[in-house]
Structure 1
Amino acid sequence: MKKLSIIFCTLLASWLLLFDQQIILQTSSASIDDYTLTSEQMAVVKNRNVISSENIANTDDDHMSNSVIGHEYSDDLEDMEDIYESESSSDDIIELNVGGQKMVTYRSTLTAVPNSSLALLFTKDLKDKTKLKRKHKKIKFFDYNPIQFAYLLDQLRSMKRMPKISAYELNIIAPPADVRFNFSTMLFELGLTPDRFLSPLVGVHLNLSTDSLIGWKECFRGAYNISFDDQILTNTCKGNRLLVACRSTTDEKTLVVAGVGKREDLLHPCSSNTYCAAEMKNSIGFYYAKNQAWGFEGRPKDFIANYHGKGRGRFPGIPRGSFALNPCDSSDQNSEYRLCWSLAANIGRGGGDRCGSSTNLHNTDGWERLIYQVD
């Protein structure tokens, strides 16, 4: 009887264990049916799995020892990784080390002046991806005064929020005198000086090599024995700034005299067709005698005028500060800094065209007029 009790208890325990397992299996099956994932949810799960797998695969020294920002940048452009393929943000945050001080800003701030040396360091759209190498990534370091660099960043932040201006019109202001030392050097090294985009920028220049021109595009060239049509200034050369020059055909690489002016200053009217007074800006003044002549008067930077003030000039009937037109400028004062072209509309064109100190060139094909422009 005792043996029968033991056998019965064993069978009962086995039956109860089997019953519990069936209940568990049924419950599990029901829960799967009740929480079936949609196709969209399955896609999310799969994507998460892919991301998770990539994260696990990238746990080498190059990735584990850096923050996200530090991971993206190195001290050399050729060391930069192909970051634009992995980043989804078009204006991500950049961390800098400037003279040992941490600074954080947006990429758009550092690239506010396109094609500057600073912008090229942080431009994503690098053309030659084949040169990019996988190396240990570093936070970008600049060996500059952090106070000066912060002063620069504030101005770049303002620039990116304002309407776009031409790079040669940059006007980055230096900080107060007590922290100004080396600020201009920093701007030069970062490619944030106007003459990096346009040279020469202002003024009058003698014996200027055409190889030294930066940013200028030729829009007109013509021989001196063909009268100049001033319609070229409105129909052909439409730039906001012009470089007007002349040269001998025996040396096409050298501009004997060249003057730079803004469009609004190029046609400063003369009060009379017998004399004119140019309005000087940056040691150069353009003038325009309607239907007669167009040109400029230039002066050396250290020039001190000896004829300013009231009263008569060197010639009777010519006010002080003016020069005679017959039909072109024939003054011999600072003669090498002067240029004059008589206009095609001048019916009684008698000549007088000049290129610096060389005058009466209107009948020669050995001299050329040139105009360059920028947008």
Structure 2
Amino acid sequence: MFSVLLITWLLLFNQQIVAKTVGANIEYVEDDLDEEILVTTEHPILIENTTNDDDNSHNTVIIENETSTHLIDQNNMDKSELSLDDIIELNVGGQRMTTFRSTLTVVPNSKLARMFTKDNETKTKSISKENTAYFLDYNPVQFAYLLDQLRAIKRMPNFVPYELDIKQPNVDVRFNFSNMLNELGLNPERFLSPIVGAHLNLKTNSLIGWKECYRSKYNTPFNATVLTNTCKGKQLLIGCRSVNDKETLTVAGVGERENIFNPCPVNGQCTIDKKNNIGFYYVADYVWGFEARPKDWVDTNYYGHSMQTAFSHTCDSRDDHSDYRLCWSFSSGVSRGGGDRCGREKNLHNSKEWERLIYETI
């Protein structure tokens, strides 16, 4: 017993720990923030173990309380992580949970991340802190399910928020789980909107996560190098509009870069693979564009994977679902006459009254 007290006294002396007593809880705060700030709740014991081998040096911090033990590998964490990534105690619907701050803040600019960003933590009114545990009024089973996925995201290289794909739990609790994601700002549409499909009369001030990378009028031939040299985003939003309405895209479609060059023959019909009711096509030296369907369109094709587009005067000229079609001819086809469309407006090849626009992800 004496040896334990002596070791504890030496650790407190060497690390210059200031103990602050708040009610029945003790909050340990290190003067030197080279290591983690550790906040625990119920009679915590802080033990530092150092084991030196010939081949390796291993440093761990063990934090124990009456209900749990946490082991932190200091060798595998850099100093910035140790100084910024402290442990957070949560009370979720009456159940205690413990995790790292970095897990809760892994999705930048989400509401959940803002709750637990250190600068905002003491200011937020969205969570209640009592006895150093933060209370969240959610189903603890559902939140634990979410927490495991956030831990997995934290270990993903090059994570992009708009590619957030948090899986839903069992069908019987999906509604509440979706509401929780929305309230915590963990839905991908929060970071990129629109995120898929084709859209009519899309207001440019409603775009989230997109930046304009190309604009030209229809009387100027389109150059395909724009898609490789100028607009390099992983996803592109392609749209067109009348010059008389600069705030509205008449029709716009979202496509992943890997899907926007679906090759088509010069003559005859082109089979387009569709994704989210939109399919892009590319005819070398002729045209580039997309054909789409309304969001609620039900595919009557048994195989459900393709659409047909026909070309006339160098551009798609079909009338079915005409509002959801866009076609631009390349500079090499400028002498062929006709072509180019924006929704139901056709033969805009030489028009100064219509504009092409391309946006890329920020």
- The TM tier, using the shorter chain, reads 0.7 to 0.9
1:81 equivalent in structure 2 = none
SS in 1 for 2:107: coil
Verify: 1:104 aligned to 2:98, yes or no.
yes
What RMSD, in angstroms, separates the aligned Cα atoms of the two structures? Answer: 3.0
Cα distance between partner residues in 2 of 1:349 and 1:266: 24
**Identity percentage of aligned residues:** 57
The one-letter code matched in structure 1 to 2:213 is C
The one-letter code matched in structure 1 to 2:214 is F
2:161 equivalent in structure 1 = 167
1:341 equivalent in structure 2 = 328
Q: Residue 221 of structure 2 contacts residue 334 of structure 2 at CA under 8 Å; is this kept in 1?
A: no
Verify: 1:284 aligned to 2:278, yes or no.
yes
1:10 equivalent in structure 2 = none
**Mean Cα displacement is larger for which, 208-217 or 345-354?**
345-354
1:234 equivalent in structure 2 = 228
- Give unpaired runs (5+ residues) of structure 1: 1-44, 72-86, 130-134, 310-318
- Larger helix percent: 1
Q: Residue 273 of structure 1 contacts residue 292 of structure 1 at CA under 8 Å; is this kept in 2?
A: no
Cα distance between partner residues in 1 of 2:99 and 2:245: 50
1:329 equivalent in structure 2 = 316
1:14 equivalent in structure 2 = none
Task: Provide, for residues 185-205 of structure 1, a one-character-per-residue CA deviation record: whole Å limited to 9, x for no partner.
Answer: 100111111100000000000
1:123 equivalent in structure 2 = 117
- Give unpaired runs (5+ residues) of structure 2: 1-9, 28-38, 42-80, 124-128
2:142 equivalent in structure 1 = 148
Task: Provide, for residues 98-157 of structure 1, a one-character-per-residue CA deviation record: whole Å limited to 9, x for no partner.
Answer: 11111111111111212211111112356999xxxxx98752111111000000001111
Q: Residue 307 of structure 1 contacts residue 321 of structure 1 at CA under 8 Å; is this kept in 2?
A: no
Q: Residue 85 of structure 2 contacts residue 102 of structure 2 at CA under 8 Å; is this kept in 1?
A: yes
1:207 equivalent in structure 2 = 201
- Larger strand percent: 2
Cα distance between partner residues in 2 of 1:277 and 1:232: 24
SS in 1 for 2:316: coil
Map 1:125-140 onto structure 2 (within 5 A).
138-140=132-134
1:89 to 69, 78, 83: 83
Q: Residue 274 of structure 2 contacts residue 307 of structure 2 at CA under 8 Å; is this kept in 1?
A: no
Deviation, 1:302, is 3.4
Larger Cα-atom Rg: 1
Deviation, 1:324, is 2.7
1:78 equivalent in structure 2 = none
Cα distance between partner residues in 1 of 2:91 and 2:271: 54
Q: Residue 274 of structure 1 contacts residue 325 of structure 1 at CA under 8 Å; is this kept in 2?
A: no
Task: Give the TM-score of the pair, scaled to structure 2.
Answer: 0.74
Cα distance between partner residues in 2 of 1:109 and 1:335: 47
SS in 2 for 1:109: helix
Map 1:289-368 onto structure 2 (within 5 A).
289-304=283-298, 321-346=308-333, 348-368=335-355
